[in-house]
Amino acid sequence: MRWLWLALAIWGALHPMRWFVAWFAQNGYSWSGLFAAWRANPATTGLMWDATIAGVALTIWILSEVRVRRNWEALAAIPATILIGVGCGLPLYLFLRTRPL
């Protein structure tokens, strides 16, 4: 399972990035435009909030488990979650969490 988590983390980093790169190619590198697109309609706003809440929950889970397990390497999943997304951060955390201690 460990290597499946890593494969999903890589997929979760690369596949969504394809859509962001395409959007930036079409609209220019405008962060305000990207944030406006996330609020373009109720469906995209709902998805944005869903991903935000999942990212916050994952970050809290990582922090609480790292405190108990002392698996400091697992903290790398927090910047992956914030900068890339939950689709990368969650499987990366599971990969790091399942390493032999």
Give yes or no for residue 99 having a pLDDT over 90.
no
pLDDT band, residue 54 (cuts 50/70/90): very high
| CB 92, CB 14: distance < 8 Å | no
- What's the structural domain count of the chain? 1
What is the token pair recorded at 74?
Answer: 């697992």
Per-residue pLDDT reduced to its tens digit, 8-32: 999 999 999 999 899 899 998 888 8
DSSP 8-state symbol, 74: G
Domain range for 43:
2-97
Percent composition of the chain: helix, strand, coil (DSSP 3-state, to 5): 85, 0, 15
